[in-house]
Amino acid sequence: MKGPEFKISELAAAVSFALTVFTVFAAAVAALAGFPFPFPPAPLYAAAACGLLCVAYGIFVEPKRLSERSIRIASPKITTPLRVLHLSDLHVTRWRDFDARVARKVKDLTPDLILLTGDYTASRFDPEALTRLLSELAKTAPVYACLGNSEGSRPVHSWVSVPGLSWLVEGGADVKLRGSRLRLEAAQPGDGERLLALKPEPSVFTIGLYHYPDLAAVLAAVPLDLVLSGHTHGGQVRLPWIGALFSNAKPGRRFARGLFRSGDKTAFVSQGIGCESYGLPPMRFLCPPEIAVFELVPEKPSVA
């Protein structure tokens, strides 16, 4: 299982931004302490106050602001309408009210199928909480889950067994739902070539589950109808007009989140549900947790 790749330029941009914010805060504190400045400190105080408000919002509000995105895909391979939910990067640390809200929201959306694309744990990990959340999801609809890079060090797919949950470590599964047949294909992080080399049955709608967003960048070469990915958390912290500073992924910031199309092929990179904060307070800014709702519908024949 290969670890993530990222661009050094992105890391440099993120570090530079963090240092700039820290410098503003430090300068404001110094001004309050009486340190002489060659200019009036009022703009400095205003910038620091605005920054504190943004940080407070990013820590205490946005990580709990669950969002929903609806995406419609029409295909002649679909015979009856299906609702498929995509969640990624759960990063469960302990059972919280937010996790209960995620489970309730999923239930309220009445999906036919739930697909998960990796990173179920964080550096602080409660296996009982993860099992509880996955159980709640599996009570709502069949769940299929591929692996993320976090599963390389915390192989929860070997520890957690839940009725209705199928771990797709590397391989495929046929799913029949309400008269439509789907084919699911998964690959481990770093093995995207497996999905690129597939030759799926032309008449069957095929969905690829791959943690990294790499395939979105080469979608024209992907032999699948739909590819679902995560890993980036959408950048987790995004700036107005700039977007994500750091994607932590090989394709870069352009593919940090969102919907991509090439002909009749679609790729989606999720903003994820949780945060990996490495002991720091979880933070999101302009990038809330996201559940993607795919409405797969039959394509109407053209009228001559």
Position 118 pLDDT exceeds 90? yes
Distance, CA of 177 to chain centre: 25
Position 107 pLDDT exceeds 90? yes
pTM of the model: 0.93
Q: How high is the pLDDT of residue 215? A: 97
pLDDT digits (tens, 9 = 90+) for 254-297: 999 999 999 999 999 999 999 877 767 889 999 999 999 999 99
Query: DSSP class of residue 150?
Result: G
Q: How high is the pLDDT of residue 124? A: 82
The answer to whether domain 63-298 has CATH 3.60.21.10 is: yes
Range scoring the smallest mean pLDDT among 133-137, 141-145, 281-285: 281-285
Record the tokens describing residue 219, joined without a space. 């979608």
Contact 106, 114 (CB under 8 A): yes
Q: How high is the pLDDT of residue 174? A: 96
Contact 174, 165 (CB under 8 A): no
The mean pLDDT value of the chain amounts to 92
Q: For the residues 2-7, what does the mean pLDDT come to?
A: 72
pLDDT digits (tens, 9 = 90+) for 6-40: 778 887 888 888 898 888 888 888 888 888 877 77
Q: For the residues 102-112, what does the mean pLDDT come to?
A: 98
pLDDT digits (tens, 9 = 90+) for 211-239: 999 999 999 999 999 999 999 999 999 99
Q: How high is the pLDDT of residue 301? A: 57
Percent of the chain with pLDDT over 90: 69
Q: How high is the pLDDT of residue 304? A: 45
Q: How high is the pLDDT of residue 37? A: 76
Q: How high is the pLDDT of residue 15? A: 86
Position 303 pLDDT exceeds 80? no
Annotated domain spans of the chain: 63-298
More confident call, 170 vs 104: 104
Beta strand 205-209 pairing with 258-262: unpaired
Beta strand 82-87 pairing with 290-298: antiparallel
Q: For the residues 74-89, what does the mean pLDDT come to?
A: 96
22-30: long-range contacts, CB 8 A cutoff, minimum separation 24: 24/48, 24/51, 25/51, 25/52
Q: For the purposes of burial, counting CB atoms within 10 Å of the CB of 250, is it exposed (0-12), middle (13-18) or buried (19 or more)?
A: middle
Beta strand 113-117 pairing with 143-146: parallel
